[in-house]
Amino acid sequence: MKNSPNNPKEVAGRQAARLVKDNMVIGLGTGSTTAYAIKEMGRLVAEGLHILGVPTSYQSAFLATENGIPLTTLDEHPVLDIDIDGADQVANFVAIKGGGAAHTREKIVAMSAKKFVVVADESKMSNALSHVVPLEVIPFARKLVEKEVAQLGGKTEVRMGISKDGPVISDNGNFILDADFGEIHDPASLDVAISQCTGIVEHGIFMNLDVVYIGKKDGTVEIFEKS
Ligand code: 5RP
């Protein structure tokens, strides 16, 4: 399907937004690609579509409100119809997320959805995962986590703020450590191993992708569905 303009993030985000149907409860991801999906959903709401959104960050909450999408919570709607979110890298229906430090809420929302749809531009597609894995870490546990992750073969760096001195603080009040594991040959095992580290709230490996929308420079969108 041809789209215009030819911004790969925009075509992926806007096309995925069309999966949203009347009366659905939607997970609203974080990042610049999902922002296009949120804006498109806002346009559909203005045309009469009835949906509720659960935001994964302050960013998506602000954007949804600006675009007229009513918000709800997981307390009120623990099961979501669909979640649309971006990714930093995708390989074989596994994503690394957390470039915006929002992966903890993003994972909670993704795991609460019947269908998890990732939207990304073609630069994010890869044959193997090698992107740094963001870790949300309780500040008190930073040194312990550095040691635990080193034992798993990862090299950590505390993510520092831009336009803020010192470390990035997540929406949940925690540090973000970016862990470099080189090429990740077995993401499922790494997922389990990182999850067992004391002091890590959540990590950015997402194993539960159902559909991937990849926007391309020529304005087309390639859709991959897990069988
Ligand atoms: C935020 C995320 C984002 O979805 C991811 O970083 C992709 O962002 P973008 O669409 O801006 O490239 O995981 O925590």
Answer yes or no: is pLDDT of 4 > 60: no
- The CATH number of whichever domain residue 193 belongs to comes to 3.30.70.260
What is the band of 91 on the pLDDT scale with cuts at 50, 70, 90?
very high
CA of 134, closest atom in ligand 1? 14
Residues 83 and 145 grouped into a single domain: no
In a domain, 155, yes or no: yes
In a domain, 1, yes or no: no
Instruction: Kindly state the average pLDDT of the residues 117-145.
Output: 98
- Mean pLDDT computed over every residue of the chain: 97
Residues 15 and 113 grouped into a single domain: yes
Residues 152 and 113 grouped into a single domain: no
Q: Is 122 in the pocket of ligand 1 (CB under 6 A)?
A: no
Q: Per the structure, how many domains does the chain have? A: 2
In a domain, 2, yes or no: no
- Name the burial class of residue 166, with classes exposed (0-12), middle (13-18) and buried (19+) by CB atoms within 10 angstroms of its CB: exposed
| pLDDT score at 103 | 98
Percent of the chain at pLDDT > 70 equals 98
In this structure, are residues 57 and 105 in contact, taking their beta carbons and an 8 Å threshold? yes
Q: Which two tokens stand for residue 127?
A: 């044959």
Q: Can you tell me whether residue 99 is helix, strand or coil?
A: coil
Residues 142 and 111 grouped into a single domain: no
Q: Which two tokens stand for residue 159?
A: 């993510």
Q: For ligand 1, atom 4, name the residue with the nearest CA.
A: 86
Residues 200 and 211 grouped into a single domain: no
Distance 29 CA to ligand 1 centre (A): 8
Residues 172 and 191 grouped into a single domain: yes
Answer yes or no: is pLDDT of 135 > 90: yes
Q: Is the pTM of this model over 0.75?
A: yes
- The CATH number of whichever domain residue 118 belongs to comes to 3.40.50.1360
What is the band of 104 on the pLDDT scale with cuts at 50, 70, 90?
very high
User: pLDDT tens digits, residue range 39-78?
Assistant: 999 999 999 999 999 999 999 999 999 999 999 999 999 9
Answer yes or no: is pLDDT of 3 > 80: no
Distance 99 CA to ligand 1 centre (A): 5
Domain region containing 221: 8-125+207-225
Residues 197 and 211 grouped into a single domain: no
Answer yes or no: is pLDDT of 225 > 80: yes
Active-site residue set: 106
Answer yes or no: is pLDDT of 2 > 60: no
In a domain, 24, yes or no: yes
Answer yes or no: is pLDDT of 5 > 60: no
Instruction: Kindly state the average pLDDT of the residues 203-212.
Output: 98
Residues 37 and 145 grouped into a single domain: no
In a domain, 175, yes or no: yes
**What are phi and psi for residue 211, nearest 5 degrees?**
-140, 145
Residues 190 and 216 grouped into a single domain: no
- The secondary structure of residue 140, as a DSSP letter, is G
Burial 97-111 (b: 16+ CB within 10 A, else e): bbbbbbbbbbbebbe
User: pLDDT tens digits, residue range 149-158?
Assistant: 999 999 999 9
Q: Is 7 in the pocket of ligand 1 (CB under 6 A)?
A: no
| pLDDT score at 227 | 87
In a domain, 120, yes or no: yes
What is the band of 6 on the pLDDT scale with cuts at 50, 70, 90?
confident
> Whole-angstrom Cα distance, residue 60 to residue 28?
6
- The secondary structure of residue 161, as a DSSP letter, is P
